[in-house]
Amino acid sequence: MGTRSIKEVAQLARVSVGTVSNVLNRPEIVSPATRERVFEAIRELGFVRNEVARHLRVGRSRTVGLVVLDVSNPFFADVAQGAEAVADEHDTMMMLCNSAADPERERRHLDQLEQQRVLGVLITPVDAASPRLAQLSARGTPVVLVDSAAAGPQCSVAVDDRLGGRLAAAHLVERGHRRIAFVGGPLSIKQVADRHAGASAAVAAAVAGEGAELVDFEIASLGVAAGRAAGERLAALPESARPTAAFCANDLLALGFLQAMSLRGLRVPEDVAIVGYDDIDFAAAAAVPLSSVRQPRELLGRTAIELLLEEVSAGDEHRHRQVIFQPDLVVRESSKAVRRDA
Partner DNA sequence: AGATTCTTTTGAATCGTCTCAAAGCCTGGT
Partner DNA sequence: ACCAGGCTTTGAGACGATTCAAAAGAATCT
| Binding residues vs a copy of itself (CB under 8 A) | 1-3, 46, 48-53, 55-56, 61, 63, 71-72, 74, 77-78, 80-81, 84, 88, 91, 93-98, 105, 108-109, 111-112, 114-117, 135, 138-140, 224, 255-256, 258-259, 281-282, 284-289
Report the candidate in 95, 104, 153, 105 with the shortest Cα–Cα distance to residue 129.
153
Q: Which does 29 bind (CB under 5 to 8 A by kind): DNA, a copy of itself, none?
A: DNA
Q: Which does 274 bind (CB under 5 to 8 A by kind): a copy of itself, DNA, none?
A: none
Helix residue ranges per DSSP H, 177-223: 190-205
Q: Report yes or no: 298 and 79 within 8 Å, Cβ to Cβ.
A: yes
Q: Report yes or no: 231 and 237 within 8 Å, Cβ to Cβ.
A: no
Q: Report yes or no: 38 and 30 within 8 Å, Cβ to Cβ.
A: yes
Q: How far is the CB of 8 from DNA (least distance, A)?
A: 8
- For residue 296, whether the previous peptide bond is cis, meaning omega lies within 30 degrees of 0, is no
Q: Report yes or no: 273 and 246 within 8 Å, Cβ to Cβ.
A: yes
Q: How far is the CB of 312 from a copy of itself (least distance, A)?
A: 12
Q: Which does 34 bind (CB under 5 to 8 A by kind): a copy of itself, DNA, none?
A: DNA
- For residue 103, whether the previous peptide bond is cis, meaning omega lies within 30 degrees of 0, is no
Pick 58 or 342: Cβ nearer a copy of itself: 58
Name beta bridge partners: 324: 158
Q: What are the backbone angles phi and psi of residue 230, rounded to the nearest 5°?
A: -65, -40
Binding site for DNA (CB under 7 A): 3, 5-7, 14-22, 24-25, 29-31, 33-34, 47, 49-50, 53-54, 56-59
Q: How far is the CB of 6 from DNA (least distance, A)?
A: 3
Pick 262 or 326: Cβ nearer a copy of itself: 262
**Rg from Cα positions in the chain:** 26
Positive or negative, the CA dihedral 326, 279, 251, 240 is positive
Pick 165 or 256: Cβ nearer a copy of itself: 256
Q: Report yes or no: 230 and 258 within 8 Å, Cβ to Cβ.
A: no
Pick 5 or 322: Cβ nearer a copy of itself: 5
Q: How far is the CB of 183 from a copy of itself (least distance, A)?
A: 15
Report the candidate in 215, 216, 292, 297 with the shortest Cα–Cα distance to residue 252.
292
Q: Report yes or no: 303 and 263 within 8 Å, Cβ to Cβ.
A: no
Q: How far is the CB of 140 from DNA (least distance, A)?
A: 11
- For residue 269, whether the previous peptide bond is cis, meaning omega lies within 30 degrees of 0, is yes
Q: How far is the CB of 340 from a copy of itself (least distance, A)?
A: 27
Q: How far is the CB of 35 from DNA (least distance, A)?
A: 7
Pick 25 or 326: Cβ nearer DNA: 25
Q: Which does 17 bind (CB under 5 to 8 A by kind): DNA, a copy of itself, none?
A: DNA
Q: How far is the CB of 327 from a copy of itself (least distance, A)?
A: 20
Q: Report yes or no: 227 and 254 within 8 Å, Cβ to Cβ.
A: yes
Pick 10 or 77: Cβ nearer DNA: 10
Q: Which does 224 bind (CB under 5 to 8 A by kind): a copy of itself, DNA, none?
A: a copy of itself
Backbone dihedral region for residue 241 (phi beyond 0: left; psi -120 to 50: alpha; all else: beta): alpha
Q: Which does 33 bind (CB under 5 to 8 A by kind): DNA, a copy of itself, none?
A: DNA
Pick 15 or 268: Cβ nearer DNA: 15
